[in-house]
Structure 1
Amino acid sequence: MSAPETRQGKPKAPSSGIMYLGVAGATVLVLVAGAAFYAATKQTRHDNVAAVPVAVTSKACEPNSLSVPAGERTFEISNKSERPVEWEVLDGVMVLAERENIAPGFKQTLKVRLAPGTYEVTCGLLSNPRGTLLVTPSQEANAEPPKATMRALLGPMGEYKFYLGRQSSAALRDAQELADAIEAGDLAKAQALYIIARQPYKRIEPVVHRFADLQNAIDPVADYFEKRENDPAFVGYHRIERGLFVTKSLDGLSPIADRLVADLTTLNERLKAMKMTPGILIDSAGNFTTQLSRDRLPAKNDSIAETDMTDLEANLDGIDKIVGLLRPVVKPVNPDLAHKIDATLTATKDEVAKQKSDAATASSTSASPSQRKELTAAFTNLADALNELPSAIGMNSNGT
């Protein structure tokens, strides 16, 4: 018979109650730590991603003053008026980002990368007072590493500025010929010249749409004026278009045409004086194509003169110019993106050509809902590809 264990023998096992308490305590600590991490992560995501709410009424923005940290920000714009509205972020006369055709009672979001500074925002009708947007410095704004150099962009920037000058000069020349035909009382010639005169302007629209004051004088949308087509401030191409193709009368159009020539002269001078920056070249195509796919095409703003497809072709010519200039910059840093942009641009051109061909043989030149959906999808794919350019190219802070 073996001897019993003494105190110096095998240690006594802890009771099951103590073990349960230890496990429970450890579990609580893990849960608390996990909850703290989740809360911190969630707060970080909220700070970086949460949309900033803005309401647009018939008279102003609510709130009328906003403050956000620099970096990529999302705004949620609610239309609390009874008419479609637009909301723009302006740096002086330059449009940094915008949403058009926000329907009454609806919300739309706008994502934009903002540098520190003070900006203005438009609030619905062009006659409404503007709001203010203060963008404060942040670490996020300087977080992305550079990928390309200023030296690589100098050639494309210079060539694009030359292209803008050449096309704006052509737009001015064609507008003067249109004004001369209107002054001479030649309706048929004026109708033919109108369609031609818009094309150079539409080719440089990816940059021109940044100039809020000139855009609202040269190619405004009647819905954004208090009295719409009858508003005295409604001038430019579309006011001339109504006279030529709706009333089919030249009465009162001569001063409107002269004003168009004067505004295009100002545009030509402004483009010559404009300092070309990497941002203008890199961002313009994506921003403008997004505006087309998101706001203009779904809104069914068919032109009276039935120039929709011709206008889109000219827009694509301008986008193609930017893509061609940036291709040698993009390929070395992101060849897959370069291929993606080329493929979506070709597909979009093919879709517009197909729609134009279909319209030429159809009884109605207005795009059907299904056709408009196809166009919107093509331009959306192109916009998605073009909007990858800024992060793919980047820029060295020292500009070398």
Structure 2
Amino acid sequence: MNRTSLTAALVAVPTAALALSGCVAKADLAASGGPLTVTSDATTCQVSTAKATSGTLAFTVTNKGPQITEFYLLADDALRIVGEVENIAPGASRTLTVVAQPGNYFTLCKPGMIGQGVGKAAFTVTGDTVAITGEDAEQKQQAVTLYAAFVKDQTAQLLPAVRSFTEDYAAGRDDAARAAFPKVRAYYERIEPIAEALGDLDPRIDYREVDAKAEGLDWTGFHRIEKDLWVPAKDAKNSDDSPAWKDWEPSTPQQRVTHASALVADVQQLYDYVHGNDFATSLNEQGVAGLSNGAISLLDEVATTKITGEEDWWSGTDLYDFAANVEGSKMAFSLVRDFTLSKGDAGKKLVAEIDKGYAALEKSLADHGSAERGFTTFADLTDADKRALIDDINALAEPLSKLTTTILG
């Protein structure tokens, strides 16, 4: 991770047509065959139809479950949030209105507003592309609102995942904890700049051993637990006097409980922050420039530590973090893409270069696996593999560095 201050950095998702909820379409309301209704309960998320015509769609969501819930319309990667409505109390109904472009989507409900949700189902929009009108300021506000929804969703998945991961670690179920480690971290890595802007919260959650020692801090968080799970071998590289072993021993069972509890508490603090007023105020103050800065900063995260193998030193799972950072960066870009295109020929050229850069980087990364199938460990990458990834990062970083100035120009 990048250890510099990133107080202005934000993030967001892959390109493709994202609709800004609440904006007005030039076309008539979508002829979807009647109102779209959603029934949410503890285990299901039933949508009245799985197809609609492009245009303005209104989903009326009724909560028949015992917990407060929320409803999402997700893009085809099941990660980007096209629209969401939250805080639907038991017995209550709320409506989500979006301008939906042709494409493939998913619907999802999230009882308790935490975790991965229930009832994810495919949803298809057919028809012609719909032009979106509305005041520029309104569209920019909608972009910021969608980003806020994404961050809240990632922390809502991160918190229970961390609880489960640390329970396995504290109980000595190391195989389960090792398997979960890189997948849990992905939620954090997609939104890492948010924690980095909160003083010592990111150091507590995500500092490497060398960084904590350099700053005289207690070493806690993911990487402290990582070292217990992947105990360094005592060999010529890691002898008793090496930095890996000097002044360190594997944690006792009680120390494991302490480390686990501390990480859960810190992630809880992050969750509370992004669901509070201070986070919303910060996003609104930074606006779309914050989104573009976030796209840039997350790619910097990849370039400074992930591609060097310095992040997940013990586990070698750096490519999982790499992929999550790229996803977060591309998400941020997707929310400001249309604003960039509106800047004339220069904006269109820049978008084309950035699109090409993300595609090339994703293709190179896919050569080494995926989060679902598993990635190659960093130690197994050849010098040629690393060089190819570095070249793709640099090729994307150059046009991406112009994004904020283009949007504000």
TM superposition score normalised by structure 2: 0.56
Measure, in 1, the Cα distance between the counterparts of 2:169 and 2:227.
13
For 2:316, what is the secondary structure of its paired residue?
A: coil
Give a deviation string over 1:110-146, Cα, whole Å, max 9, x none: xxxxxxxxxxxxxxxxxxxxxxxxxxxxxxxxxxxxx
In structure 2, stretches of 5+ residues that fail to align are 11-134, 233-249
1:65-214 equivalent positions in 2, closer than 5 A: 88-89=4-5, 94=7, 149-214=136-201
**Offset of 1:219 from its aligned partner?**
0.6
1:225 aligns with 2:212: yes
CA contact (8 A) 1:289 1:379 kept: yes
Partner in structure 2 of residue 241 of structure 1: 226
Measure, in 2, the Cα distance between the counterparts of 1:207 and 1:237.
17
CA contact (8 A) 1:237 1:260 kept: yes
Question: 1:369 is aligned with what amino acid?
Answer: D
1:328 aligns with 2:338: yes
CA contact (8 A) 1:168 1:267 kept: yes
Question: 1:175 is aligned with what amino acid?
Answer: V
Q: Percent identity?
A: 22
**Offset of 1:211 from its aligned partner?**
3.2
Partner in structure 2 of residue 265 of structure 1: 268
CA contact (8 A) 1:294 1:376 kept: no
CA contact (8 A) 1:206 1:318 kept: no
Measure, in 1, the Cα distance between the counterparts of 2:384 and 2:231.
27
**Offset of 1:237 from its aligned partner?**
0.4
1:367 aligns with 2:367: no
Measure, in 2, the Cα distance between the counterparts of 1:89 and 1:171.
23
Give a deviation string over 1:129-165, Cα, whole Å, max 9, x none: xxxxxxxxxxxxxxxxxxx953331111000000001
Partner in structure 2 of residue 128 of structure 1: none
**Once superposed, which parts of structure 1, at least 4 consecutive aligned residues long, lie more than 6 Å away?**
247-250, 359-364
Would the alpha carbon gap of residues 185 and 300 (structure 1) be closer, same or farther in structure 2, given more than 3 Å must change?
A: closer
Question: 1:198 is aligned with what amino acid?
Answer: R
CA contact (8 A) 1:352 1:375 kept: yes
Question: 2:157 is aligned with what amino acid?
Answer: A
Partner in structure 2 of residue 339 of structure 1: 352
Answer with 363-372 or 235-244: which moved more. 363-372
Partner in structure 1 of residue 130 of structure 2: none
Question: 1:258 is aligned with what amino acid?
Answer: S
Measure, in 1, the Cα distance between the counterparts of 2:380 and 2:172.
29
What's the C-alpha RMSD, in Å, of the aligned pairs? 3.1
Answer with 275-284 or 169-178: which moved more. 275-284
CA contact (8 A) 2:299 2:326 kept: no
Would the alpha carbon gap of residues 314 and 299 (structure 1) be closer, same or farther in structure 2, given more than 3 Å must change?
A: closer
Normalized per residue, which structure has more helix? Answer: 1
TM superposition score normalised by structure 1: 0.57
Equivalent pairs counted in the alignment come to 254
**Offset of 1:363 from its aligned partner?**
9.5
Partner in structure 2 of residue 140 of structure 1: none
**Offset of 1:307 from its aligned partner?**
1.4
Measure, in 1, the Cα distance between the counterparts of 2:217 and 2:310.
24
Give a deviation string over 1:221-265, Cα, whole Å, max 9, x none: 21123379xx77111000001111116876322211111111111
Would the alpha carbon gap of residues 361 and 162 (structure 1) be closer, same or farther in structure 2, given more than 3 Å must change?
A: closer
Measure, in 1, the Cα distance between the counterparts of 2:180 and 2:338.
37
Answer with 308-317 or 362-371: which moved more. 362-371
**Offset of 1:317 from its aligned partner?**
1.7
1:293-304 equivalent positions in 2, closer than 5 A: 293-294=303-304, 296-298=306-308, 300-304=310-314
In structure 1, stretches of 5+ residues that fail to align are 1-85, 98-147, 396-400
CA contact (8 A) 1:157 1:281 kept: yes
Would the alpha carbon gap of residues 164 and 246 (structure 1) be closer, same or farther in structure 2, given more than 3 Å must change?
A: same
Instruction: Choose from 375, 393, 397 the match for 2:407.
Output: 393
Measure, in 1, the Cα distance between the counterparts of 2:320 and 2:309.
18
Would the alpha carbon gap of residues 284 and 293 (structure 1) be closer, same or farther in structure 2, given more than 3 Å must change?
A: same
1:314 aligns with 2:324: yes
CA contact (8 A) 1:298 1:376 kept: no
**Offset of 1:301 from its aligned partner?**
4.5
Would the alpha carbon gap of residues 339 and 386 (structure 1) be closer, same or farther in structure 2, given more than 3 Å must change?
A: same
Answer with 1 or 2: which has the greater Rg. 1
